């Protein structure tokens, strides 16, 4: 369940009428690790296991391929409100020490970080790959075909991962942009196919958080419908990620590593 129907009063010019609109659900999910509260995220229900798996991966809490044991602790009206994951102390990554003490809201992926140094991501640059921009709009069209909650509510984001042959490997929707990304990464982790991820498409803007998640997942190309923040561009350049924004209406803006494209003369 990702949407609920609400009644509203629609006003246009001098006329008004009652309408029934579908609204995207935003609900809190408490994540426990080894039966201890770790963080609370605001998200759209469904794909909660994938969301948690992707978040733990991005936060350097659990990066192993072996599946995890999830248990629903509390459920209200078919919506999970508390979920627990068991991870042995030997498998807990360094990110667990950076325990999120604040609520992580749906619009802010780095809320809850305790210090500025905690948002730093390190590692070697991703390997360059060459691709044609001609297929990007086709991939966005394919992603749009699966955005059922957005079609119904107009109020949620989507993230989609494609492989090197532009085959759709995962698409997830959520009220939070970074949540949708975590869900797609978590989905491929569960399937054991994250290595096949080459393109990350997002329905909204790109901030530092999304670039860092793509870098950790080793996805070299990020394409956004909307704008990119300055920090996102800075880190994309540092990480070796080709970052593209405003990809719509047969247009796009390349902000980092344009050498990845093999058809610049046609762009």
Instruction: Detail the residues annotated as belonging to a binding site.
Output: 246-251
What is the H or E stretch that residue 189 is in?
A: helix 177-191
* Separate counts of helices (H) and strands (E) for the chain: 6, 12
- Distance of alpha carbon 129 from alpha carbon 126, whole angstroms: 9
CA dihedral 178, 180, 185, 191 (to 10 degrees): 160
Q: Are 29 and 64 in contact (CB under 8 A)?
A: no
Catalytic residue among 108, 111, 156, 228: 108
How would DSSP label each residue in 121-178?
A: ---PPPPP--B-GGGHHHHHHHHHHT-HHHHHHS--EEEEEE-TT--EEEEEEESSHH
- Neighbouring-strand partners of residue 5: 22
Q: Are 220 and 260 in contact (CB under 8 A)?
A: yes
Active site residue 156: no
| Torsion angles phi and psi, residue 127, rounded to 5 | -70, 140
**Helix 48-58 crosses helix 177-191 at what angle (to 10 degrees)?**
90
- Distance of alpha carbon 71 from alpha carbon 204, whole angstroms: 32
* Strand 157-162, strand 168-174: pairing: antiparallel
Q: How many CB atoms lie within 10 A of CB 84?
A: 20
Would you name the residues annotated as active-site residues?
A: 108
């Amino acid at each position: 369940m990702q949407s609920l129907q609400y009644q509203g009063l629609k006003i246009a010019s001098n006329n008004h009428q009652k309408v029934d609109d579908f609204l995207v659900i935003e609900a809190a999910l408490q994540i426990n690790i080894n039966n201890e509260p770790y963080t609370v995220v605001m998200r759209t229900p469904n794909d909660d296991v994938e969301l948690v798996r992707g978040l733990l991966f991005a936060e350097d809490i659990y990066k192993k391929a072996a599946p995890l044991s999830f248990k629903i602790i509390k459920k209200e009206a078919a919506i999970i409100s508390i979920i627990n994951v068991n991870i042995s102390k030997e498998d807990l990554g360094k990110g667990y020490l950076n325990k999120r003490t604040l609520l992580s809201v749906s619009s802010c992926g780095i809320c809850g970080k305790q210090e500025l140094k905690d948002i730093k991501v390190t590692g070697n640059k991703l390997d360059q790959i060459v691709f044609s921009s001609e297929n990007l709009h086709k991939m966005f069209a394919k992603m749009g075909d699966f955005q059922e909650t957005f079609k119904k509510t107009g109020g949620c984001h989507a993230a989609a991962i494609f492989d090197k042959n532009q085959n759709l490997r995962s698409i997830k929707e959520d009220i939070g942009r970074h949540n949708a990304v975590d869900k797609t990464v978590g989905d491929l982790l569960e399937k054991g196919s994250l290595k096949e991820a080459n393109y990350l498409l997002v329905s909204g803007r790109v901030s530092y958080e999304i670039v860092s998640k793509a870098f950790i997942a080793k996805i070299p190309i990020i394409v956004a419908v909307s704008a990119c923040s300055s920090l996102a561009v800075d880190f994309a350049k540092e990480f070796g990620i080709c970052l593209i924004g405003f990809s719509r209406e047969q247009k796009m803006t390349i902000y980092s590593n344009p050498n990845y494209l093999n058809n610049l003369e046609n762009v």
